[in-house]
Each structure stands twice: as C-alpha cells, then as structure tokens.
Structure 1
C-alpha cells in the first residue's frame, strides 16, 4: 500500500519563520548603522543638546549667540524665537534639559560673573518660546561661578551644576534656587562638577567631576555626596557630559572617548560595559538620549565658538551623531541568529513529529 504523503508546512509555522527572518535581517542591518545628522547654520557653534520626544527632534543652543534651535532627524534646523525682553544680552548657553511633562525647556545661562537658569514654555506651531522665569543663581564667588549642565526630576525641579565652585543648585518648579550640595573635599578648579543626570525612581543624581575624574552620587533630597567606586581602568578626567538610558545604562563623554557604565547597587559601585574612542575634532562634549533609546553626541565645535579660534573661515556645518557600545551591538546582533535557530529547531521537531505520525498511520492502514 502507498505511504501517506507528509502534509505541507502549516501556514502559521511558515509565517512564523518568515517573520523571524525578516526581523533578524532588519536588526542586523540596524545594529551596523550609526545615525548621523548633519545640519548647516553658519557660526552657530551649538553646545547644549536635548531631545524633545513629543516632536521627535533635538533642541540645541548656540554658545556664540545664545539662541535656541530645533534639529530634525534629517538635519532641518529652525530657530525658536523668543520675545522676552529681560534675557541677558549675548549670554553663553551651556546645558539644556527638556521637561516633557510640562512642555518646558530649561537652560543654563551665563554672562560675565553671573550664572542664571531659565525656563521657557515651548510653542511648536509657532516655533517660539515664552519665558516662564529667569533665576539668578546664588554664589559666593561670582568671578568663578558658572552654570553648566541641567537635569530634571519628575516634580519639575532642576539641578544645575556649577563647575567653578564645585556645587549643585536646586531650582524649584517656580524658579526658586538654593544650593543642594557642595563638594568641599576636592581642590578648586575651573572645571569641577560638570555633567549631571537624574536617576528616575532612585532620587539620585550622578555627576561627573572633570578635574578629579570622579563620578559622584548625590542624594537629590538632602544633597549628600559620595564617590562611585569605579574599576581602575575607568579614568573620567576631562569628562564633560553624561546621559542615562531608560534601562539605567549611563554614558559619560569627554572630547576623546565615551565610557558606558552600569550599576547593580544604586551606584555605590559602577561597572564598565564598554569604552568607545571618539573623533576629538568637533569637541563632542554634549550627550543626549534620543528616539528609541539611542544615544547621540553633539559635534558643535563649541570650543572654537567660545575662543573665536576657528581654523580659517567660520564654521557652517555641525552634526549630531549616534554613539553605540560595541559590546552591546555584538550582543544584540546575536539574538536574531538565536531566534532563527529556535525557529529551525521548532521546524525540525514538527517534522520529526509529523514523520512519526505518518509512519504510525501507514502501519495502521497496512
């Protein structure tokens, strides 16, 4: 008697395999490509960088002109206008943070001997800003004080670093400023406390200290400060910016490299995931988390903008460039192959089961 033919591969299993192959190819391709945004704005020299998730674009601030601009993923740049008459004349704008919950842009302003923090309401339809408050930040040493980077907590409080005096200001939702934390143990330096991030759910700040290379853990409630224990190979001297992804992985950037760090104990101790060498030309000191948790650096040539020492003509082109961990990319590139292997194993198991079923059926018929 003729043997029963094997039934065709079930439609559901076929779709399952095709979908996994498609996802795998897409993931492999995506993991190999770094997103680079180039944009043209003569003499802009941006230093501040933040991400507006509502509009899916970046916001940058000019260190030369004290202006704010949006930059889309394909490099279209537009100026955010402001009619505020009480803003400092020709300020140096450094750190930026975007308050998604309240649609506010927070900026660290500086004029000669006077540090400020400003909050603006963003109007997307008109590409304009309305000033909510401009706060003069208290200091005992105006000649060395400088507001640098900004971080926000869920309540709308802003945390602003002062890299001249090694302190952190806390600015309330309505603009009231006070000193939250002061490092009296480290030597004085013109570049002390620098980049800062707020860790959601932990009420903690992480702050990089450029002159000592320390990563500091600061209680956002009482200001208690302590050093994060780092591996010996992690040397954060000259670090500037810092950003944290939703998964808790932290990126610390200097003008020549990025350190990718994580912690399992609320940042009592940090672990090194990866160390990435950067192209130092362009002064990539600002870092921000953009769309889909991707991490971006701003190559704004801000040092040229502040010193006026440009090479030849004034610069016109700048870029925002995705940075990724090689270690993480390798790990991500493995899982598609694992899923394909699982799909094939599933197929082989199905084939084996169907073969047994057909053989048993043939035996019964015979």
Structure 2
C-alpha cells in the first residue's frame, strides 16, 4: 500500500503537469478572426471600445459607425441625419476616459464627437468643419490627457488639431510629408496629393504623434506641442520597396504597428523614435488591410476587406449584400516572433516538468530503498 508521502507527491506531480498543460494550451490558442458583413456597410477605419467590449468600424458609403461583436454581429451605433447621405466616416477613435466617440467625416470634411453614455443613436457633442471641406480624413489620434484630437489629411500633407471644445486649427504642415520621389517634380504637381497623403496617426504618451504616409509607408514623428515633423523610417520610399500604410496603432509595450495593403509591420525604436526598425512582419493572406487597432494592450487586430479589383467595385460589402460570398474580417495578427517566444516558454515549462518528474522518481526510489533497509 502506497505511503501517505507517496500519495501526496503523486498528487503534486499531477497538479504540476495539469498546470503545464493549461499554460501550454493558453499559449497555443487559435488566432481570433471575426467574419462579418452588412449590406452597404463598406467598412473603413477600426477602433476598439474597451468599456463596451466591441470593435467599431466606419462606412465609406454613408455617415455611419457600426459596432462589431466577437461573434460578428453588426449593429448601427450611429447614423448622423444632419450630414449629407453620401458622406463617409473614414476615421474614428474612442476617448474612453471621457466616453466619447470621435468620427472624422468626408464630403464635407468635419470632426464630430458623440456621447457614448447616451442612448443610441448617441447624442452629438459637437461637429466642427475642418479647414479644407474637400479633404478626406486619413486617421484620428487622441491625447487622452487633454482631450485634443489630431486628424490627418489623406488627400494632402497636413495634420489638423481639434481641441476639447471642437475648435479646429492647422497643426502640422511640413514639406517632409511630400514623397521624396515627387519633391521638386514640376511635371507632376498632383503627386503630393495623390501619393503623399497622410493615413493613420497615433498619439504616444511621451509627447509626440506617429503618422504614416499612404503609398510610401513612411512613418513620421510629430511633436505633439509644436507640430515639427521628421521621418523615422524611409524604407517605404525606396524604389521597389514601397509598402502601403493605412493605419497605425501603439501597443502597451511601446511597439508600434503599421498596417496597409497585404501586410502589417511591428516597429520598435531604441532611441525615443528618432529611428524606427522593423521587429516583425505579418502577411495578410487574402484581402487588404484597411486599418489596425490594439485590444487589451498587446493584441493587434486588422480590418481586412476584399480587394476592390476582386470585389467588382462593390466596396467590400460582403455576402450579406449578395456579392459572391465575399465578407469582411477583423482578424488578430499572429506574429512570428511572439510565436517563437511562446514556444520557448512551453519548452522551458516542459523542461521544468521533466526535471521535477525525475527528481520525484529519484526521491521515491530513495524512499523505497530506505523502507526496504528498515524491514531487513
């Protein structure tokens, strides 16, 4: 009959291996993918609402914002009747501290704030026309401390600032935003608008913004007080290496994710973002990455829609609109570097488990030997 000591050791060993299996399964969880569709939605822009626990997407076809649950259920969060019906909502951001939703509209260009504490459709706090009514907003960054919003122009080379009361000003307008290959090109005066418009923008708590340039993929560091800008990466501007960039988001560990086209890039910096380097890349297997958002600090999600060429010009409406079964996705990015780190932890845990097992076997062997000597 096994001794109480032997039973206790066996129980501890079983508990340890059960914990090992639970940790391993958590590290090896499947990538989270949300598939959704809604007639006429044409999703653009992506934000995560940590209080309501759902994603928010704008529409390229109407002045509306919808919520998307983890189960792919789409609900209209707001549809502003005071805007022209052909307006669009290309950029949005959640001010969770004040429970506001900021939406940048196009046709005409404006920024509006809505009270997320009010019943749906949410009450509008303010609506401010941007200085250039023909512009198309590219992204919104929020300074959670001051409540200031920064809006980029996807059809120009500037950033607007809108304060807590809704007063807009031109914040940053720099020649550095112009594509390097088109600077000084007198034969292509439209190049700066067509190729150099700014896309997504993110506010970093250290007092600056990071803005991305549409077709070149360049990233700019912009002083959040004075608007002075400098490029922190120019890899996208080199011929043959052009990388689209439609969105940018900041992780809780300080990493920055830039997404657009067929890929997402995880950038890091060792010198306060004077220079950025690519830490990892992840490809979009099918469709096009339109926007990026960070959920729960480090989990990165992309808004992926069908390619317009493949979509027949249907703006990514998905099979709910009857377009050959094509749907939109909000999918979690699976980073190779993080997968490797997770595998290292699993191997470490397995090694500890085996070491504990052999140590237990040795102790049990010693115990049996001692008991046999006493009996003898």
* Superposition TM-score, scaled by structure 2 size: 0.82
Is the CA contact (8 Å cut-off) linking 1:253 and 1:285 kept in structure 2? yes
Provide Cα deviations, 1:105-158, integer angstroms capped at 9, x if missing partner.
Answer: 1111111xx42111111247x43211111111124xx55x32220111222211
2:137 corresponds in structure 1 to 147
| Deviates further, 342-351 or 320-329 | 342-351
Sort the Cα spacing of 1:153 and 1:232 in 2 relative to 1 into closer, same or farther, 3 A.
Answer: closer
Aligned equivalents of 1:118, 1:174: Cα separation in 2: 11
Aligned equivalents of 2:40, 2:7: Cα separation in 1: 66
Summarize the alignment of residues 171-190 of structure 1 with structure 2, pairs less than 5 Å apart.
171-185=162-176, 186=178, 187=183, 188-190=192-194
Aligned equivalents of 1:161, 1:232: Cα separation in 2: 19
| Structure 1 residue corresponding to 2:36, chosen from 39, 51, 65 | 39
Is the CA contact (8 Å cut-off) linking 1:120 and 1:131 kept in structure 2? yes
Sort the Cα spacing of 1:6 and 1:81 in 2 relative to 1 into closer, same or farther, 3 A.
Answer: closer
Aligned equivalents of 1:218, 1:290: Cα separation in 2: 24
Summarize the alignment of residues 103-142 of structure 1 with structure 2, pairs less than 5 Å apart.
103-111=99-107, 114-123=108-117, 126-139=119-132
Shift of 1:359: 5.9
Aligned equivalents of 1:63, 1:303: Cα separation in 2: 13
Is the CA contact (8 Å cut-off) linking 2:91 and 2:104 kept in structure 1? yes
Shift of 1:47: 0.5
2:19 corresponds in structure 1 to 19
SS of structure 1 residue aligned to 2:220? strand
Aligned equivalents of 2:157, 2:71: Cα separation in 1: 38
1:78 corresponds in structure 2 to 75
Aligned equivalents of 1:6, 1:359: Cα separation in 2: 15
| Structure 1 residue corresponding to 2:346, chosen from 336, 340, 349 | 336
Is the CA contact (8 Å cut-off) linking 2:34 and 2:72 kept in structure 1? yes
| Structure 2 residue corresponding to 1:160, chosen from 151, 159, 162 | 151
**Relative CO higher for 1 or 2, CA cutoff 8 Å, sep ≥ 6?**
1
SS of structure 1 residue aligned to 2:248? strand
Shift of 1:243: 1.6
Shift of 1:355: 5.1
SS of structure 2 residue aligned to 1:207? strand
1:225 corresponds in structure 2 to 229
Is the CA contact (8 Å cut-off) linking 2:286 and 2:306 kept in structure 1? no
Aligned equivalents of 2:50, 2:242: Cα separation in 1: 29
Aligned equivalents of 1:246, 1:166: Cα separation in 2: 28
Matched, 1:321 2:311: no
SS of structure 2 residue aligned to 1:285? strand
1:294 corresponds in structure 2 to 299
Provide Cα deviations, 1:240-294, integer angstroms capped at 9, x if missing partner.
Answer: 111222112222112122212212222122222222222453x321111235632
Shift of 1:210: 2.1
SS of structure 2 residue aligned to 1:7? helix
1:250 corresponds in structure 2 to 256
SS of structure 2 residue aligned to 1:128? coil
Is the CA contact (8 Å cut-off) linking 1:297 and 1:320 kept in structure 2? yes
Is the CA contact (8 Å cut-off) linking 1:105 and 1:122 kept in structure 2? yes
| Deviates further, 93-102 or 10-19 | 10-19
Sort the Cα spacing of 1:357 and 1:249 in 2 relative to 1 into closer, same or farther, 3 A.
Answer: same
* Superposition TM-score, scaled by structure 1 size: 0.84
Residues matched between the structures, number: 350
Shift of 1:64: 0.7
Aligned equivalents of 2:371, 2:331: Cα separation in 1: 62
Aligned equivalents of 1:66, 1:314: Cα separation in 2: 22
Aligned equivalents of 2:334, 2:93: Cα separation in 1: 22
Shift of 1:233: 11
| Deviates further, 234-243 or 217-226 | 234-243
